[in-house]
Amino acid sequence: MLKEFKEFAMRGNVVDMAEGIIIGGGHRMSCSFARRPGRRAAFFALARLVPATTALALLAFAALVPGPVWAQEQRLSSDWQSPETCGYCHDALYEQFTGSMHSQAAVDPLYLYEVALADEQTDGLVGPFCLKCHSPIGDWLGETAPPTGKSDGSALSDIAKEGVTCDFCHTVSGPSDEWPGNSSFESDPGLTKRGPYADSVSPAHDTAFSEFHTSSDFCGSCHDVNHPLNGLALEATYTEWKESGWADLGVRCQDCHMTPGAGPSPPGTGPVAAFGPERDRVFSMDFTGANAVFGNREAAEERLKGAAALELIVEGVPEAGVKAGDPVKALVKVKNVAAGHYLPTGLTDTRRMWLEVKAVGKSGDPVELGKVEYHTIFADESGNHENVPVWFAASVYYDRRVPPMGALDEVIEFAWPEGVSGEAKVVAELKYMSFTQELADKAKLDVEVPVILMAQTEQSVETAGSSLMAAIAFAVAFAVVVAIMVVFLRRRPGGFARRGGDQKAVA
């Protein structure tokens, strides 16, 4: 909700909050300790109840009982930890994370297909670059040194296959000199987990406040991808956001992607770890985006549906109604209402979003009147723009997408189609696919790529045929009524046809 988000912003959590369109709703993060062993929960509950003055006494006592032995076991080692280990205490966050694309980044089937192709076409030179963002731990461990590294994922260790993990994100220590983009973070793996709190205490690891994690700049280290040789922007989500009105309003990536709903929402409340205190700043680790194929389909669909809106005006329809061949114009405004960047963003040469305008009559198939595609097409060094993979991209051949807080006005001119009459309407629909079915089949992904209807609007259109038909129908009905009346009155005793005779008889 607007009010709640603003209150969150006012508390200094989001800087420079100004007036603006804020969409979304508040929520409470659930955190269940049901799976935690009772003894541990009881120990920590007790520890929190004990006044500070008796803390020393408790420590002395604790040294004598088995409790602290397992507490020491809880201390993590400084090696890279699997998300499952973090989930031992951060169970709600772990559950959210397992549905995210970050958890799949190194094993995503489309990604594996593309890396294998990239390596094949570049003698293994490109794959290691891909790993820097898709498996930052694999990259750190040096598992992908060219040209012998198998960057298709098969040679990766288990920890590297877990993608962009909890431990990876929370041991990032700041931006590198190359920031933003192309994995420009500094890592400091080990026991210090960095996050948004300045006062957090954990039995398992050290903690540190990190301003970087509370800023979109953190996401910007991977969510801008530039060609490593020619610098061409292949993905520019961070830069798109930075130059948008959302950045001016202080609405960060976290406010939309780590909360429910399409637009920004305030964070939830509650404890973030078993035995942890109640917090009023709890973000979700689900990072819902638009991937309805490998990500959480329902959440992605909801986000896509909340992202855009359409307005439609049909011009050029004559007073007497339109007939086949008449020139007509559909003016469609395609609005980006809740995406903090261009729509679509990210891997825009692979994503598909398009506007479909069609005429629909009372019966028969709808007739397509026009289509506009919103994505990017790259050209290679020789200017070819047919199926150019990102690793050979040298320039942008086509790029039409809807700007953040903006709109595109599309004019679709057409001749009114044959056979669409009666109660007709013009329908405009905005649709999205994460990638084409053709690509899915080529990559042997064995998935059906859903077409998601993001927005729809329509306007009814008077057709000349429809008024003529109505006139004929009215005339026929009128004639039938008159005919029935005539027959009825002729038969009725005393009806006007017999009246003369009757009168004569009476006389």
**Least distance from ligand HEC to the Cβ atom of residue 64, Å:** 22
Rounded Cα–Cα distance for residues 163 and 132 (Å): 10
* CA–CA distance, 473 with 262 (Å, rounded to integer): 49
In the complex, least distance from residue 80 CB atom to ligand HEC, rounded to whole angstroms: 8
Minimum CB distance to ligand HEC smaller for 200 or for 437:
200
Strands 278-282, 224-226: pairing is unpaired
CA nearest to 256, candidates 168, 174, 343, 341: 341
User: Residue 287 Cβ, how far from ligand HEC at the closest point, in Å?
Assistant: 4
Structure tokens at 406: 């903006």
Assigned token pair, 393: 């991209």
**Residue 258 vs 314, nearer CB to ligand HEC:** 258
Integer-rounded Cα Rg, in Å, for the chain is 32
**C-beta separation of 335 from 309 below 8 A:** yes
Q: In the bound complex, what is the minimum distance in angstroms from residue 368's beta carbon to ligand HEC?
A: 24
**Residue 176 tokens, joined:** 């590198």
| Rounded-to-integer distance, Cα 350 and Cα 334, Å | 21
Return d(Cα 432, Cα 334) in angstroms, integer: 13
User: Between the CA of residue 460 and those of 66, 316, 466, what are the distances in Å?
Assistant: 76, 13, 12
CB of 130 to ligand HEC, least distance (A): 3
Minimum distance from residue 467 beta carbon to ligand HEC (Å): 42
Min CB(98)–ligand HEC separation in Å: 8
Closest CA to 306 of 261, 244, 259, 258: 261
Tell the smallest beta-carbon distance from residue 32 to ligand HEC (Å): 15
Tokens of 452: 């998601």
Cis peptide before 109 (omega within 30 of 0): no
Query: Distance between CA 343 and CA 349 in Å, rounded?
Result: 12
Q: Nearer to ligand HEC by C-beta: 169 or 420? A: 169
Distance CA 289, CA 338 (A): 12
Instruction: Pick between residue 97 and residue 414 the one whose CB is nearest to ligand HEC.
Output: 97
Least Cβ distance, residue 292 to ligand HEC (angstroms) = 8
H/E/C letters for each residue in 62-116?
HHHCCHHHHHHHCCCCCCCCCHHHHHCCCHHHHHHHHCCCHHHCCCCHHHHHHHH
Nearest to 288 by CA among 31, 102, 14: 102
Q: How many CA atoms lie within 13 A of 187 on its CB side?
A: 18
Q: Which is nearer to ligand HEC, 289 or 321 (CB)?
A: 289
Give whichever of 74 and 457 is closer to ligand HEC, judged by the CB atom.
Answer: 74
In the block, residue with structure tokens 């005793």: 493
Q: Distance between alpha carbon 270 and the CA centroid of its chain, in Å?
A: 25
Nearer CB in complex with ligand HEC: 181/465: 181
* Smaller CB separation from ligand HEC, 89 or 369: 89
State the nearest-atom distance from the C-beta of 426 to ligand HEC, in Å. Answer: 25
Q: How far is the CB of 76 from ligand HEC (least distance, A)?
A: 6
**Residue 279 three-state SS:** strand
Using the 8-state DSSP alphabet, how is residue 35 labeled? T
End-to-end CA distance of the chain: 89
Q: Which is nearer to ligand HEC, 319 or 438 (CB)?
A: 438
Which CB, 378 or 414, lies closer to ligand HEC?
378
Residue 465: half-sphere exposure toward Cβ, Cα within 13 Å? 16
Give the nearer residue to ligand HEC in terms of CB position, either 115 or 412. 115
Examine residue 203 and say whether the peptide bond preceding it is cis (omega within 30 degrees of 0). no
Cβ proximity to ligand HEC: between 330 and 433 the closer is 433
Tell me how far, at minimum, the Cβ of 273 lies from ligand HEC, in Å: 3
Structure tokens at 50: 């004990």
